[in-house]
Every structure is written in C-alpha cells, then in structure tokens.
Amino acid sequence: YYAHPHNQFWRILGLLWHVDLLSQPYPARCAEALQRGLGIWDVYASCHRQGSLDSSICNATVNDFAALAKRCVHLQAIAHNGGESWRHHRHTAALGLPVHKLPSTSPANASWSLERKLSAWREILMQYGLANDPHTRLDETGKTGDPDHYSRLADRFLESVSGRSCRIGSIAAVFLQHL
C-alpha cells in the first residue's frame, strides 16, 4: 500500500499537482487522484505476501483488466508503477491501449532519485493532460483550465469502476482517462 512513509507515490503526485497530498487523509488523496482523472487499480485481485517486499508475493491472481476496460470507456492508457506491476503488462497491452512503465515509487527503488522519478512520472502524465508543465501558471486551486473538468473525470471513472477505483495496493497500474 502506498501508505509506507518512504513510498514516494503520493509525494510525486502532490508535486505534479501542486497539492499537499501527504497531509491529507487517505480517502482525500484518492478523491484528489480521481478528480484529476487518475484511477488506480491493483494488478493483483489477490495474493499472499509477508512483509512489504514485492519479491515476497506468492499465489497471485491477476485482476480482470478486460472487464475493467469495458467499464472504463474513456480509458486512454495504462501506466505500471514499477517492475512487479510491469511483469503483467502483456495483460494490459492486450487491451490495445498505450502501456507505460514508470519507475517504482517504492523505497526499494533507491537507485532512482526523487527528481528522476518525478521527471519520468511528469512526462507520462503530461501526455494525457494529467500533469502540468512545470512552467504552467496554475489557478488558485492548483489546477488549469475548466474547473469542472476534473469533477467530470472523477464522476466518469467512479461510474466505470463501480467503487473499486481507490483500492490501492503496492502493485498498481495507473489508469489514465479523459472525457
């Protein structure tokens, strides 16, 4: 789960969106991601793991991405957070959407600096309008453009995934969609 204090997932998103996500409770973080058009879903429907290392995962069952894609009609791309998630990219690639591998935000990925991870995440999220150019002027809410845009995205994603959109796990794929 991205609750580990050294996991940089929420910090990176907060930096990209100019929002202090780390001070917000978990449900508010999920709501912010959805409002910005970012849905997060576990690669695994179930698995067993002792501790927090991905290498400890066993008896894993991959989620049904085809069923999710049918419900997410505005899905534009999938980005895998790290190598364990990426191991299953053939399942997400079968959907016919662009699939990206992002560097893991896990503290186990110490070979990548925060700045390097932030740059990689910014590059992909910008392609889909989910992050701003670092030089873009933001309004008082930390967002650009139509203020209702993010709310419409969140509503659509919530409808499409039937309440599973904020089930965050340490092995996650990030779903990028627009109206």
Q: Which positions are catalytic?
A: 7
Beta strands 172-177 and 38-42: pairing type?
antiparallel
Which helix (H) or strand (E) segment is 66 a member of?
helix 65-71
Kindly give, in sequence order, each residue whose CB lies less than 8 Å from that of residue 14, ignoring residues fewer than 6 positions away. 20, 21, 22
For residue 128, which phi and psi values (nearest 5 degrees)? -115, 15
